[in-house]
Amino acid sequence: MFGVFPQCPITAYSQRRTRLGGIFVPVKVGVIGAGKFGVNHLNAFRQLSYSGVAELSAVAEASPARAEEVRKQYGCPVYLDYREMLEKADLDGVTIATPDHLHKQIAVDSAKAGKHILVEKPLDTTVEGCEAVIQAAKDAGTLLQVDFHKRYDPDHQALENRVKSGEFGDILYGSVYMEDRIEVPVDWFPHWAPHSSPAWFLGVHFFDLVRWVIKSEPKTVFATGSRKFLKNTFGVDTWDSINAKVDFENGAAFNFDVSWVLPRGFESVVNQAIRIVGTKGVWEIDSQDRGSRSCVEGEGMRTYNNNFLREKTDKFGRTIYQGYGAESIEDFAYNVALLKSGKTLDDLAGTYPSGEDGREVTRIAVAAHDSINTGQVIKLR
């Protein structure tokens, strides 16, 4: 299992990250769900294979047509049934990038098969489902990580650091918006958008980020929402927008505005920002527009969130991706490498978004939906 991969060019960066007690550890990963976002998982593990850190050992993809494409493009075994992959493929860990409401059973089965697990956000769309996954991973003694990648954005990391240092004083309030263009629910996945919502698909990112930055859990949630435009105009029966006010135990109050109805002509697929005000300071981060813009004939203005994914070519001419969208997935492989090299789950505790983080975030999203449906303030603590 352990060994050096002499055929792979190992970069100084990956040596630093994976030379654990003098042993190089290749991590064997299987990806479950190879749709629009699963591609980022495939690419992350493919590029880690260039330095011998990980191998994309197998994929499970339920759509036969998509499975065939992935087989051709990535050259690894692709299973239509993830259970067959769990049974037959030699894997240390799996990552799960199936639709929001289809994470739980796959994660439980993966834990029962003894695999370390990275789950796309949200961990599950019920608190009970999150508990079931957490328990299954606990019973199996495996890593359970959730892909809350906003924590890996260097601007957000700086925010967390400076808030933790006390530079901003006591955090009083803040606000967040995260919005997608309308093509996301209408063109990308109209079949499962009704099982999701802007809170599940987008809000969870910032629910997690704010908890992580201010180191506090929510006390109450009050939310309103609109559910008419997507349903009446496009036949996609889901929330258009959700606006949630969350009061935290430390007294901070945050507004979260999330929607997926921005016009197709908007300058990027995602629009997002966070603003925090404390007794000693204020910080505003445009988490989308990083200062790079373009406009070409026939297209409107475009901005690029280069902190998320920047496509590059490595010195051997291979396409690689850098940014927090890749790093949060790669971090899972590094964690599994550390575990394979003798570190324990306790050693890693607090260094990655955990199953418990996933559950607390789901608690907020469930409360937001409950609040919209009942018109009540939902007390969490």
Strand pairing category for 93-96 and 116-120? parallel
Q: Is 65 helix (H, G, I), strand (E, B) or coil?
A: helix
Nearest-approach distance from CB 231 to ligand NAD, in angstroms: 20
Nearest-approach distance from CB 187 to ligand NAD, in angstroms: 11
> Backbone phi, then psi, for 306, in 5-degree steps?
-70, -15
Residue with smaller CB distance to ligand NAD, 239 or 248: 239
Nearest-approach distance from CB 150 to ligand NAD, in angstroms: 8
Rounded to whole angstroms, how far apart are CA atoms 203 and 182?
A: 16
Nearest-approach distance from CB 274 to ligand NAD, in angstroms: 15
Nearest-approach distance from CB 98 to ligand NAD, in angstroms: 4
Rounded to whole angstroms, how far apart are CA atoms 289 and 175?
A: 17
Residue with smaller CB distance to ligand NAD, 137 or 193: 193
Q: What is the dihedral of CA 329, 213, 240, 184, to 10 degrees?
A: -20
Rg (CA), the chain: 21
Nearest-approach distance from CB 138 to ligand NAD, in angstroms: 22
Residues of this chain that bind ligand NAD (CB under 6 A) = 32-38, 60-63, 66, 82, 97-100, 102, 120-121, 147, 149, 189, 201
Q: How many CA atoms lie within 13 A of 155 on its CB side?
A: 18
Residue with smaller CB distance to ligand NAD, 118 or 134: 118
Closest residue to bound ligand NAD by CB = 35
- State both tokens at 134: 């957490």
Q: Which helix (H) or strand (E) holds 211?
A: helix 204-214
Residue with smaller CB distance to ligand NAD, 36 or 318: 36
* Residues contacting residue 233 through CB under 8 Å, at least 6 positions apart: none
DSSP 8-class letter at 216:
-
Of 369, 377, 371, 40, nearest to 204 by C-alpha is 369
- State both tokens at 66: 């998509």
Rounded to whole angstroms, how far apart are CA atoms 366 and 362?
A: 6
Nearest-approach distance from CB 120 to ligand NAD, in angstroms: 4
Q: Which helix (H) or strand (E) holds 146?
A: strand 144-147
Nearest-approach distance from CB 280 to ligand NAD, in angstroms: 32
223-255 as b/e, with b when 16 or more CB fall inside 10 Å?
A: bebbeeebeeebebebbbbbbbbbbbeeebbbe
Nearest-approach distance from CB 147 to ligand NAD, in angstroms: 5
Cβ-contact 357, 211 below 8 angstroms: yes
- State both tokens at 61: 């993809």
Residue with smaller CB distance to ligand NAD, 36 or 88: 36
- State both tokens at 335: 């964690």
Cβ-contact 43, 22 below 8 angstroms: no
Cβ-contact 42, 31 below 8 angstroms: yes
Residue with smaller CB distance to ligand NAD, 309 or 348: 309
Rounded to whole angstroms, how far apart are CA atoms 284 and 305?
A: 16
Nearest-approach distance from CB 7 to ligand NAD, in angstroms: 31
